[in-house]
C-alpha cells in the first residue's frame, strides 16, 4: 500500500513540475527576447512577415488569440484592407512587433520558414 501511495505522489509531483513550465510569458520578457536578436535577424523576420502570406496569416491568428494583443490587433484589423496592411501596422507598433517576432523566434518551424523565405 505504501508503494502505491508513494508512486502516486511521485507521479503527481512530476506531472505538476512539468506543467509548471507552460506559464504565460510577460510582455517585458517578450521585449527582452526580441532585443536579443541581432538587428539583421529582426529585419529578416520582419521582411518575411511582410512578404510570406502563410507566415502573415499564422502570426496574425496568434496575435488575435493572445489576450495581451487581441484588442489592439482587432482595432488595427478594422482599419486595414488586407493582411499585408495589417502586418505593416502590427510591425509599426513596437509592442505588437515584439510579440510577433517573439512568436516566430520561439516556434522553430516558423523561424525556419522565415529564414528560408529570406534566403538564409
CA 9/CA 38 separation, integer angstroms: 45
List all residues 6 or more positions away from 74 whose beta carbon is below 8 Å from its beta carbon: 64
pLDDT in single tens digits along all 120 residues of the chain: 656 655 665 566 555 444 444 334 455 554 444 446 677 788 899 999 999 999 999 999 999 999 999 999 999 999 988 888 999 999 999 999 999 999 999 999 999 988 887 654
Domain membership of residue 16 (yes or no) is no
Q: The domain containing residue 64 runs over which residues?
A: 39-120
Distances (CA, A) of 36 to 23, 31, 33, 46, 69: 21, 9, 5, 15, 21
Domain membership of residue 27 (yes or no) is no
Q: Is the pTM of this model over 0.75?
A: no
Q: Are 81 and 23 in contact (CB under 8 A)?
A: no
Domain membership of residue 7 (yes or no) is no
Domain membership of residue 90 (yes or no) is yes
* Cell numbers linked to 94: 513596437
Domain membership of residue 10 (yes or no) is no
Domain membership of residue 2 (yes or no) is no
Chain centre distance of CA 92: 17
Domain membership of residue 18 (yes or no) is no
Amino acid at each position: 500500500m505504501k508503494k502505491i501511495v508513494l508512486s502516486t505522489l511521485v507521479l503527481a509531483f512530476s506531472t505538476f513540475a512539468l506543467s509548471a513550465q507552460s506559464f504565460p510569458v510577460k510582455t517585458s520578457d517578450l521585449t527582452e527576447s526580441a532585443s536579443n536578436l541581432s538587428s539583421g535577424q529582426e529585419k529578416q523576420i520582419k521582411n518575411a512577415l511582410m512578404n510570406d502570406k502563410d507566415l502573415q496569416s499564422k502570426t496574425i491568428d496568434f496575435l488575435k488569440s493572445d489576450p495581451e494583443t487581441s484588442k489592439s490587433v482587432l482595432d488595427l484589423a478594422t482599419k486595414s484592407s488586407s493582411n499585408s496592411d495589417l502586418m505593416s501596422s502590427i510591425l509599426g507598433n513596437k509592442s505588437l512587433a515584439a510579440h510577433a517576432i517573439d512568436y516566430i523566434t520561439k516556434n522553430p518551424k516558423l523561424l525556419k520558414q522565415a529564414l528560408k523565405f529570406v534566403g538564409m
